[in-house]
Amino acid sequence: MTERILVNQLAARPDGPVVVSGWVETVRDQKKVQFIILRDETGAVQLVNPATRPDPEAEQDAAALALTDAISNLAHGTFLTVTGQLKHDERVKLGGIEIKIGALQIAAAALPETPIAADSSMDKRMDWRFLDLRQRRNNLIFRVSTTLEHAMRQYWVDRDYVELHTPKLMSSPSESNAELFALPYFEDKTAYLAQSPQHYKQMAQAAGFGKIFEIGDVFRADPSFTSRHATEFTSVDAEISWIDSHEDVAAMQEELLAAAIQAVKDKHGQEIAELFGVEVTVPTLPFPRIPLVEAHEIVKARGYEIPRTDGDLDPEGERQISAHVQETYGHQFVFITDYHPEIRPFYHMVDPATGLTKSYDLLFNGVEITTGAQREHRIEVLEQQALAKGLKLDGLAHYLDFFRYGMPPHGGFGMGLARVLMLLLGEASIREVTFLFRGPTRLAP
């Protein structure tokens, strides 16, 4: 391995020889002195070279001439390794250190014209996502994501959850017949891409796994162009047995999120504040809960009339509720509970006392990030609920079989990873926080 020193470790080292590797962020090619700002995944450092310009009248060092010439010709983005002398110098604005270049070895030179700039349109930036991701704030997004995910997994592993990888190729739709990608499979069969791991995380309950989680890809042939939708996204899912109601799921999810956001704040809080202007807030427990009917009253009292007639909230309604919760409880999260079965999937359990589902949506800073529920585990009731939605039991045959040989009461949630990241960092679109976004008109690079 090249014995390079990461840029963020230079300040702690004494003056002397060092090797650094990274890419050229800028070159200042002055007549007498040349500066390179070199960036790696941990930071940026200034490199300096006293220029040796050709002078027919002087005796000159060929190597020094060549080095000066090489630096003059460096394109932004070129990856290189520099051997040089580290010097601490308070006058250097960038971290108070500088490296005097000894030798410079180009790994791969960049074309001289960079196709995008930091202020290019989002679509153009997505065309050249690998260059866009060189920005420090974009790099930070994925370090935050890594920390967030790892903290969630740690929470679950500490509590003996089993991590699953459920199949994405299925013989029948996992959620609904809408927004479904289909593909030819072997022997003239048709396969469908999983819209969620719903069937299989429930299957794990029938298998007696008790508590499971999965962080994996799901697919929706969704023609939307909103800031919150994608045709492929990372879904964070959990499912647990022996619950009394959706409240047990909500209690787990709020603890999970508090632990994960705490980990992000501890590791990246300062850098997030610097690069995103956002103070990471660890949510207090429990999160506020508001029944859907009450939510409607609150939104109405704030002067907003929800246009949809099915009883669900719309995006502006969600923003209004979150604003209310922020003003009233100083909280960024709120569980909306007690949805009518008409606006929920057939597999949500209905509370006989109210006729409403034992389910919730979780809003974070005005956007829905989760649906959670207790599932109906009694096969007779489940079949009735499916039929009441106009579904054909044939298409659900494999799923329904899971319930015929014993099933514990259970429930869980699914959460969009990109939505959580977007809202945590105050970004405007999930496109900004997805490594490579996929949408109806976006399948490359």
- Footprint on residues 18-47 left by a copy of itself (CB under 8 A): 21-24, 39-42
**Residue in the structure block whose two tokens are 């949506």:** 361
Is position 344 annotated in a ligand binding site?
no
Among 5, 36, 45, 131, binds a copy of itself (CB under 8 A): 131
Pick out residues in 303-322 that bind a copy of itself (CB under 8 A): none
Please give the DSSP secondary-structure letter assigned to residue 439.
Answer: B
Among 35, 155, 219, 335, binds a copy of itself (CB under 8 A): 219
Pick out residues in 64-83 that bind a copy of itself (CB under 8 A): 75, 77-79, 81
Question: Crossing angle, helix 136-158 and helix 246-276, to 10 degrees?
Answer: 150
- Give the interface size with a copy of itself as a residue count (CB under 8 A): 110
Is position 175 annotated in a ligand binding site?
yes
Name the one range near a copy of itself by CB under 8 A: 45-53, 229-237, 305-313, 331-339: 229-237
Q: How far is the CB of 364 from a copy of itself (least distance, A)?
A: 20
Name the one range near a copy of itself by CB under 8 A: 48-56, 94-102, 177-185, 358-366: 177-185
**Beta carbons within 8 Å of 271's beta carbon, 6+ residues apart:** 140
What the block records as the tokens of 25 is: 């962020």
Name the one range near a copy of itself by CB under 8 A: 228-236, 303-311, 325-333, 358-366: 228-236
Dihedral (CA of 389, 394, 398, 402) sign: positive
Please give the DSSP secondary-structure letter assigned to residue 287.
Answer: P
Pick out residues in 398-427 that bind a copy of itself (CB under 8 A): 398-399, 401-409, 417
Spatial contact of 27 and 76, defined as CB atoms under 8 Å apart? yes
Is position 91 annotated in a ligand binding site?
no
Please give the DSSP secondary-structure letter assigned to residue 172.
Answer: S
Among 5, 49, 98, 168, binds a copy of itself (CB under 8 A): 168
By the rule CB under 8 A, 142 interacts with a copy of itself: yes
d(CA 358, CA 175): 18
d(CA 65, CA 54): 7
Q: Nearer to a copy of itself by C-beta: 24 or 290? A: 24
What the block records as the tokens of 434 is: 């997805």
Among 134, 319, 331, 389, binds a copy of itself (CB under 8 A): 134
For residue 397, give Cα distances in angstroms to 169, 178, 186.
Answer: 16, 18, 21
Dihedral (CA of 357, 261, 233, 121) sign: positive
Kind and range of the H or E run holding 5: none
Pick out residues in 82-121 that bind a copy of itself (CB under 8 A): 107-111, 114-115
- DSSP codes, 248-282: HHHHHHHHHHHHHHHHHHHHHHHHHHHHH-----P
Q: Nearer to a copy of itself by C-beta: 50 or 440? A: 440
Among 34, 174, 231, 337, binds a copy of itself (CB under 8 A): 231
By the rule CB under 8 A, 172 interacts with a copy of itself: yes
**Beta carbons within 8 Å of 281's beta carbon, 6+ residues apart:** 261, 265, 332
Among 27, 64, 92, 162, binds a copy of itself (CB under 8 A): 162
By the rule CB under 8 A, 191 interacts with a copy of itself: yes
The residues pairing with 45 across neighbouring beta strands, listed in sequence order, are 38
Among 87, 88, 143, 289, binds a copy of itself (CB under 8 A): 143
- DSSP codes, 142-154: HHHHHHHHHHHHH
Annotated binding residues for ATP, written as ranges, equal 368, 416-419
Annotated binding-site residues for L-aspartate read 175, 220, 371, 375
